[in-house]
Structure 1
């Protein structure tokens, strides 16, 4: 079936493209869905569909892959205290340990991390099969804050903190923290708290590098109002209903939005 056909009967229900339907049902990513559709493995109401632009009724269409019906999976929302040294990927071609090694006991086939923490970073990392929730949390327009505790290789003064909040340029890109404040200082280094409302690649490390400093440790301690707390390293737990509701509100998925 070609040409952006409308499938699934009348226009009632929730109409989405077929790849998006498979993604929203938690079956696979949209990219994976497009491959399945192109290979002729997907049927809608008994008809094979090979057009990735075809529209379906998410609530009323019968969608099957390889003859097996696709139904919505229960939504899963997990938080992990990521240890240092793990890469945030499902399969690493270099054979390094990954964050998914911490999720043993969970069905991870359709779970994806919400954003990333690089190999040297630690702390709060979310996983879900709710693609809309993940995309909204990552959208810079929602301004859901992420809070980090950062060990810096020097005594940090008020001027450096002010520069981080004002913005610094690194490799032609302006990088800015929502806020930066001193937590404590020792004889040779300091711990600071940095808050971001966007997630650029290695943003805090690059900001410090632009200021002539080095990041010794970086721990994400909160996303919005969700705090890492006392969750042990390498341990995963499900979000509570109240935690999920708060994140949805902050990201604008619920009616009232507040960071």
Structure 2
């Protein structure tokens, strides 16, 4: 039960209060959009009274919050790495009935977790999930420029001109699509693997960058986020991050 030891008028005025949906999200109960839906559906009460306004100022240190009749408290912080297979949707639910990343976590006994950043359906590799919304926001905030490393199989052998052009970046649909580094990992007769490092994550960033140079993507695998490498984590499996890994990503 989240009930304060002190409900005096003085203490009430010195504590920051946020909207109810935001509070539920920060407590790690669900995403903010899910919280807004739950509030509007009449599933949330504050101090025993049903609340229908997601923006209702709320102080979880001094009010009792309940969702579907169960008292809500701050969930323990959970940080998970997943090796996402190709074809899996990074979404809590898919209107077309496709498998989602949450199917990989079912029956694991985990609290609600939100994806930290994006990885499109056709892409593979390292995906982070957490209920620590502040930590997640720090990793995804564009101004922090956390490096993300990808191994990309393309449908041609690159020449120096292409590598130079990819390094320089392009403007597509009014967005600057740049890179930190581009290098060749290995080449075959008709294709090659590149390593591409980004410090930002626009929608379909690498695919759009390569398409601007008429290069097709055969596979795209994220192999690292900041100092955290995908390593030997099997495809479709997940693991908890260690405290040292959580701190290292936060520093990044």
Could you tell me which residue of structure 2 aligns to residue 163 of structure 1? Answer: 165
The reply on whether 1:45 has 2:50 as its aligned counterpart is no
- The answer as to whether partners of 1:8 and 1:61 remain within 8 angstroms in 2 is no
The reply on whether 1:138 has 2:127 as its aligned counterpart is no
CA distance in 1, matches of 2:107, 2:53: 37
Correspondence for 1:237 among 232, 236, 239:
239
| Distance change (3 Å), C-alpha of 1:50 and 1:144 | same
Could you tell me which residue of structure 1 aligns to residue 96 of structure 2? Answer: 94
CA distance in 1, matches of 2:156, 2:37: 50
Could you tell me which residue of structure 2 aligns to residue 115 of structure 1? Answer: 117
CA distance in 2, matches of 1:75, 1:231: 21
CA distance in 1, matches of 2:80, 2:39: 30
CA distance in 2, matches of 1:143, 1:48: 42
Correspondence for 1:212 among 206, 214, 220:
214
Correspondence for 1:31 among 21, 30, 33:
33
CA distance in 2, matches of 1:97, 1:105: 15
What TM-score do you get using the length of structure 2 for normalisation?
A: 0.88
CA distance in 2, matches of 1:108, 1:20: 21
Unmatched segments (≥5 aa) in structure 1: 1-6, 251-259
CA offset at residue 142 of structure 1? 1.4
Unmatched segments (≥5 aa) in structure 2: 1-6
Correspondence for 2:248 among 231, 238, 246:
246
Calculate the aligned-residue CA RMSD, in Å.
2.2
Correspondence for 1:195 among 179, 194, 197:
197
| Distance change (3 Å), C-alpha of 1:219 and 1:66 | closer
| Distance change (3 Å), C-alpha of 1:168 and 1:114 | same
The reply on whether 1:15 has 2:43 as its aligned counterpart is no
